[in-house]
């Protein structure tokens, strides 16, 4: 029987798992299989500095090749795992090769949700998930070009910010009544909408059904009754967890591969981490499917500790960031629509925070250029602290006094 640890996917979670496994002195051979051409790299810059052309691809790598050599990891890049055979404890690659495992870590991430309908595949229509996507966009990403972005989520708005700064003519189409509707409070949404408008980005919320027009290549995007001429279209309408491998092998899945707080799936020899999972979060008291670097890192650590036989349950307050223009948005915790919201600071000063309270307890915070609120806010959330809204709102009470 093999004692090999096989990691499917070579992204953020995979890189962290390798690091923690070796730091925990797990000596088993490791094989990491990824279908992209690159060693694990950071995706966040893809819609930020990398898109802006301020970073070379090499600088995106999470660790250099020497790191994997030193960790004695057998690396298979450009290869896809197409089947998982739990009885035989082996995975099969597209090439037909079969690799047996002792423990398996599924770190398959997620893929973009694609537009349906006619013309969705026309040249000029792009998505943004990996380096290859940015490479494809780049030749069209020129000053004066007319860019339409479908989807006012973080990725869409970051793309819009970089594009506006690079001199493109930008329109953002959002089906909801505000941008960032799924992930941020109304205060944050209206603040970013205003900032984008100042930068010359046209934002159309409640844009209605969207369709693509063009003969042989993209010419325009239709949104409701409007027709917007476009040279390129970037679609950012969310992601889908890559869970098919697990589901086809009979592992429990529901909007992600179901794992416990130690990143274990319903098969004791198979673990999963990152965008592809949903996990029970004890701080939030519910199951979460997160799409963030923090989640990939912390869950991969939990998976590695479990494989090392020294479980350390994953129970972090989720955190996230987004960079747009000179604004740094940092958020921690998760809010729900019914939570009370407390504004601290002035939105017009471009430095403020929105705290979310549930039954008086701090459950989330969203900060714009406000690191103290963010750093202390994280601790308040972890402690389930109860702070009077008046004190949270009072900028004359330093954050440090609240902890």
Q: Looking at beta carbons, which residue is closest to ligand FAD?
A: 11
d(CA 394, CA 399): 9
Q: Is 31 in the site for ligand FAD (CB under 6 A)?
A: no
* Selected range binding ligand FAD among 33-41, 144-152, 168-176, 208-216, rule: CB under 6 A: 33-41
Could you tell me which residues come within 8 angstroms of residue 369 by beta carbon, excluding any fewer than 6 positions away?
327, 328, 350, 351
**Among residues 291, 298, 316, 339, the one that binds ligand FAD under rule CB under 6 A:** 291
Q: Is 36 in the site for ligand FAD (CB under 6 A)?
A: yes
* Selected range binding ligand FAD among 10-18, 142-150, 164-172, 203-211, rule: CB under 6 A: 10-18
Site mask for ligand FAD (CB under 6 A), range 112-151, x = bound: ----------------xx----------------------
Minimum CB distance to other proteins, residue 372 (Å): 5
Count of positions (residues) in the chain? 403
Nearer to ligand FAD, 101 or 392 (CB): 101
Q: Is 169 in the site for ligand FAD (CB under 6 A)?
A: no
Sign of CA dihedral 22, 35, 59, 110: negative
**Among residues 4, 5, 7, 12, the one that binds ligand FAD under rule CB under 6 A:** 12
CB-CB contact of 351 with 333 (8 Å): no
Compute CA distances 305 → 69, 193, 267, whole Å: 21, 42, 17
Q: Is 193 in the site for ligand FAD (CB under 6 A)?
A: no
Termini Cα distance of the chain: 52
Q: Is 278 in the site for ligand FAD (CB under 6 A)?
A: no
CB-CB contact of 311 with 338 (8 Å): no
Q: Is 19 in the site for ligand FAD (CB under 6 A)?
A: no
Could you tell me which residues come within 8 angstroms of residue 379 by beta carbon, excluding any fewer than 6 positions away?
385, 403
State the alpha helices, DSSP H only, in 50-122: 65-70
Going by DSSP bridges, is the β-strand pair 361-368/327-333 parallel, antiparallel, or unpaired?
Answer: antiparallel
**Among residues 49, 63, 80, 328, the one that binds ligand FAD under rule CB under 6 A:** 80
Q: Is 322 in the site for ligand FAD (CB under 6 A)?
A: yes
Residues that bind ligand FAD (CB under 6 A): 8-14, 33-36, 43-44, 46-47, 80-81, 107-109, 128-129, 155, 242, 245, 274-276, 291-294, 296, 320-322
């Amino acid at each position: 029987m093999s004692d090999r640890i096989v990691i499917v996917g070579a992204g953020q979670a995979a890189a962290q798992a390798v690091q923690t496994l070796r730091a925990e002195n797990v000596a088993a051979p490791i094989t990491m299989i990824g279908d992209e051409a690159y060693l694990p790299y950071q995706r966040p810059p893809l819609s930020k500095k990398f898109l802006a052309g301020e970073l070379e691809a090499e600088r995106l790598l999470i660790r250099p090749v020497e790191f994997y050599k030193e960790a004695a990891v057998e690396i298979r890049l450009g290869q896809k795992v197409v089947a998982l055979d739990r009885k035989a404890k082996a995975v099969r690659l597209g090439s037909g090769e079969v690799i047996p495992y002792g423990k398996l870590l599924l770190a398959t991430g997620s893929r973009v949700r694609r537009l349906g309908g006619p013309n969705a595949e026309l040249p000029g229509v792009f998505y943004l998930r990996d380096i290859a996507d940015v490479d494809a966009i780049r030749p069209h990403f020129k000053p004066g070009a007319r860019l339409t972005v479908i989807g006012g989520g973080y990725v869409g708005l970051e793309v819009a910010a970089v594009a506006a700064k690079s001199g493109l003519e930008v329109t953002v189409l959002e089906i909801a009544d505000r941008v960032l509707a799924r992930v941020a409070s109304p205060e944050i949404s209206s603040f970013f909408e205003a900032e984008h408008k100042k930068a010359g980005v046209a934002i159309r919320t409640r844009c209605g059904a969207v369709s693509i027009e063009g003969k042989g290549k993209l010419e325009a995007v239709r949104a409701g009754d409007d027709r917007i001429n476009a040279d390129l279209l970037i679609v950012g309408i969310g992601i889908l967890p890559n869970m098919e491998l697990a589901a086809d092998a009979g592992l429990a899945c529901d909007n992600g591969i179901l794992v416990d707080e130690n990143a274990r799936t319903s098969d004791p020899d198979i673990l999963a981490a990152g965008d592809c999972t949903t996990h029970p979060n004890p701080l939030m008291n519910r199951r979460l499917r997160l799409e963030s670097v923090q989640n990939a890192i912390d869950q991969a650590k939990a998976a590695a500790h479990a494989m090392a036989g020294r479980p350390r349950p994953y129970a972090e307050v989720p955190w996230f960031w987004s960079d747009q223009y000179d604004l740094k948005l940092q958020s921690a915790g998760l809010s729900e629509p019914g939570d009370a919201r407390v504004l601290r600071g002035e939105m017009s000063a471009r430095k403020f925070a929105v705290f979310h309270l549930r039954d008086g307890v701090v459950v989330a915070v969203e900060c714009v250029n406000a690191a103290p609120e963010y750093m202390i806010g994280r601790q308040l959330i972890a402690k389930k602290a109860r702070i009077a809204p008046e004190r949270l709102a009072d900028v004359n009470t330093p954050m440090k006094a609240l902890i």
